[in-house]
Each structure stands twice: as C-alpha cells, then as structure tokens.
Amino acid sequence: MVSSSRVHILVNGSLSVRSIETRDAGLYLCEASNGVGAELSKVVRITVRNVPDVPADVEVGEASSRYVRLSWIEPFGGNLPITQYLLRWTNKEGSWEDSVSVSGTETKVTDVSGAGRVDGYYVAYRRDGSPEPLRYQTLHERVGVVSGLDRDTLYEVQVQAYNAKGPGPPSRTHAVRTLVADPPPPPTYRVAGTSARTISLVWEHPTISLDDPPIRTYYILWRVDGAAEEQWREQSVGSDRNGFALSGLACGTRHQLRMRAASDVGRGPEGHLLTASTEGGRPVLQQPDRLVEANSTAAWLRLDAWWNGGCPISHFAVHYRSAASGDADWTLVSSHVPTRLDEPVVLVDLTPGSWYVLLMVAHNDAGTTRSQVNFATLTPSGDVPSQKSHLLNSKMASFYRHLTVTLPIGSSVLVLVVVLAVLWCVLHRHAEDAAARGTPQGKM
C-alpha cells in the first residue's frame, strides 16, 4: 500500500488513516524486509464501527382507517448489532412528534395506531341472532355495568371508543350469557358492641327479587387493620340470624370487617368496609414504688405492680445496670419472663449499698410499654444509701473510668519525656568532653 491523502505509512512502520470511513474496514497486510533472509508479514483486521444505515425498502403491507403495517430490509448496522428502530409519523401538514420504538431484531411492526385521547366508550348489544337493531349504552370508564338485560339470555356485545373526532372502529363481537338469577346483595350491617376479645355485628336482611333464590348463608370477613390481603378470615352464619359476635379476637386491636350474602346462585358482592377496635390497651406500671424490694445483695420484682391495660400481659423483658455505669452496660435477666404474678423475679449478686436502674418491657396484644425504675440495695448496716452518695459514686465512677484511659496515656508521655531528657543530657555531656579534649592547654 502506498501513502495517499488519508493513508500514511510512517517512518516507524506504523499506519495512519485520517478521516476514517466505513470502507476503510478490512484486512491489512504488513510486510517487513531488510534484504537478509525471508520477508516477515502479518495480516491485521481493522473494524470500523459507525452508526447504522437507513432501513431499505420500507413497504406498507396493510392499511386501515386506524393503523398501518410496515416492513423493511435490515440495513448495514455499522459493524454493531442494531438495538432498536425508531418509527416516527405525522400528518401531512404536521410536525414529526409521535414515535414508537421497535426491537432491533424485528424488521416489521404492526398496529401502529393513532394515539388520540379517548373520551368514552359505546357498548352495543342485542340478543344473539336477533334481527333487532343494536342498543347502546355509553360508559366513561374502561370498566362498567350494562344494565336492563334479560335473565338467562345470550347477548352479542361490541365496544368502540370515541373522542372529539368521532367513534373508532368497533371491537370484535363477544357472546355473553346472563345468569338465571342474581347473587344476593350484601346486608346492611353495623357494629353493635365490643369487648376485649369480641366484636358484635347486627344486620338487616337485603331485599331479594321474587325471581331470585333465597339467601342461604351470610359471611363475615375480618382481619387485623393493616394486615396483608391474604389474611382475611371468614365466618359463616345462617340466613335466619341477624347478628353475630366474633370471638377470639386480638385484645385492644383495630379490626376491619365486611359482610356478604350467598344463595344457590353463588356469593354476592362484599359490602362496605367497617373498622372497629376491641377493648383494652397497653400495659401500665401503676405502682412503681411497689415494683422492687431489695436487701443488700438481691432484689425482688413484684410483677403485680403492673396493670395489664385490659389485655392480658403475655410476658416481660427485664434488664438492669448499675446507676454508675453507662447505658451500654445493661445486664439481661430474661427476654421472656412469664406472667406468674405470684412468683417474683429475683436479681442476685448485687453490690451492697449501691443504686441500680431497672428496665422492664411489658407485652400484650395491644402493644408494649417500657418503664425504668431506680432502686438501691441496703448497706451492710441495713440502711438505704443516699441519693447524694449515689450521684457522688456515679461521678467518681465516671472519673475513674476516664482515669483508666488517661493515666496510661499520661504515664507513657511522661516516660517518653524523661527518656528524651536523659538522652539529651548524655549527648550534651559527650559534646562537652570532646570539646575539652580538643582544646590546647596554656603554659604555666
């Protein structure tokens, strides 16, 4: 290859191509010789990556009033896979605003429909096979109800959308048969009362058409407020009842409830959502002064100092620490102390004449309550240590904790200073001695 205006062979043997083009891609043979021995050669492939070419032979395969079907031949991809095609369209006098993306592996697209706003829908229907003209109902949502139909009748139904420009093409015809009878509507229901574990509902029977079968069963559905959708539970009640008490519910808890009726045709729709709470609340530490009794080395916790709030306490969690220590020094006694109120919890191996902080967490269905109580062990003489000594001990303990950190550091610094001072003195003395030996003595 010889040099040209774009291709240059440099002195160092390299090849330079300026303003590279797609046609520059290919195999390049490099030969080297110096007149001694055989020539050396190497083939190098150069790939030029570029934007893809324009799709070729774009054809309209089919067209209707609302869509076109296009196809094309895959163009040269610029030595890279084509990831997608972008189709744009406009009215003859319009601007290029609308577009749609098609996968790069496709070479055709169908149903590129108009993207106008839909104002509503016409639902056309009539008896299947009937020569009568179609009847229409207008709906403004994608889901609606067509009423006034006959029982147990096969209908043909079409739907077409419309906007300010007019109606679009109708859908294909669907065949739909109405039921012989309708499922019953839900009763009219309300909450009549609550207790710690029950919610009572009362209701009025719905009005049923004489052509519909009678109600066989009522269903009460309930769940804890905020629970997952699959956690709805169900209770069936005979049709002769007009009230029922749901029992075994969580105490002091908010619940959601619904009702529905069922007949031989099936279950009817669910009624409105009710919300009601069972009675009760979280535990309360009513008598904190009675909670702890202590001697010099142990403390007893009287669990009956707690009131359950109207819901039985399931368990306690008990922690304690020295009042002189930090919040990170809690000792866990148990995370699940049972509620045997006649058996106190005992804290052992305590230090005489010391103040402590007790943390208790009480649990029931309604929630949890955390309470902290300060208490003191007796001195060896049987006295209660004063709060001043408690505060002093706390400050002294804090001082000693800091001292355990600062004292080693201070000692290390002091030792380092002493070592440096001794080293300086030794070096200074050596320097003076050397100077003295090097100075000539005067004659006497």
**Can you give the residue ranges of every domain in the chain?**
7-46, 56-90+115-177, 188-277, 284-389
Cβ neighbours of residue 241 closer than 8 Å, sequence gap 6 or more: 218
C-alpha 236/C-alpha 250 separation (Å) is 20
Dist. CA 55–CA 77, nearest whole Å = 10
Q: φ, ψ for residue 384 (rounded to 5)?
A: -90, 125
Is there a common fold for 56-90+115-177 and 188-277? yes
Token pair of 269 as six digits: 């729709």
Residue 180 phi, psi (nearest 5) = -65, -40
How far is Cα 222 from Cα 197, in angstroms, rounded to an integer?
Answer: 14
Distances (CA, A) of 383 to 46, 378, 388: 97, 5, 14
> What's the confidence (pLDDT) of residue 47?
81
Residue 12 CA, distance from chain mean position? 62
Picking from 67, 61, 64, 65, the residue whose alpha carbon sits closest to that of residue 107 is 61
| DSSP for residue 421 | H
For 278-312, where are the E strands, in sequence order? 284-285, 292-294, 299-301, 306-307
Structure tokens at 245: 């008490």
State phi, psi for 378 to the nearest 5 degrees: -75, 155
Give CA–CA dist 220/74, Å, rounded: 62
First-to-last CA distance in the chain? Answer: 102
Nearest residue to 31 (alpha-carbon basis) of 13, 45, 19, 52? 13
Instruction: Identify the CATH assignment for 56-90+115-177 out of 3.40.640.10, 2.30.110.10, 2.60.40.10, 3.40.50.2000.
Output: 2.60.40.10
How far apart (Å, rounded) are the C-alpha atoms in residues 380 and 377? Answer: 9
Q: Are 173 and 158 in contact (CB under 8 A)?
A: yes
DSSP 8-state class, residue 353: T
**Nearest-10 Cα torsion for 304, 307, 308, 313:** -30
Which amino acid appears at position 220 of this protein?
A: I
What's the token pair of residue 202?
Answer: 């009362």
CB 292 within 8 A of CB 283: no
Q: How far apart are CA 211 and CA 152, in angstroms?
A: 12
How many whole angstroms separate alpha carbon 271 and alpha carbon 203?
Answer: 11
Residue 50, by phi and psi: left (phi above 0), alpha (psi -120 to 50) or beta?
Answer: beta
Residue 362 to residue 285: CA distance in whole angstroms: 9
Q: What's the pTM value of the predicted model, to 2 decimals?
A: 0.55
CATH 1.10.357.10 is right for the domain spanning 284-389:
no
Q: What is the DSSP string of 136-164?
A: EEEESSSS----SPPTT-EEEEEEEEEET
pLDDT at 441: 45
d(CA 208, CA 265): 13
pLDDT value for 390:
53
CATH hierarchy code of domain 188-277:
2.60.40.10
* Each residue's pLDDT expressed in tens, for the chain with a length of 444 residues: 455 667 777 766 677 777 777 777 778 777 777 777 667 777 878 887 788 888 888 888 777 666 778 888 888 777 788 888 887 767 666 665 555 666 666 666 655 555 567 899 999 999 999 999 999 999 988 888 888 899 899 999 999 999 988 888 899 999 999 988 889 999 999 999 999 999 999 999 999 988 889 999 999 999 999 999 999 999 999 999 999 999 999 999 999 999 999 999 999 999 999 999 999 999 999 999 999 999 999 999 999 999 999 999 999 999 999 998 877 789 999 999 988 756 779 999 999 999 999 999 999 999 999 999 999 999 999 899 987 555 555 455 444 445 555 556 767 778 788 778 888 887 777 776 666 665 544 443
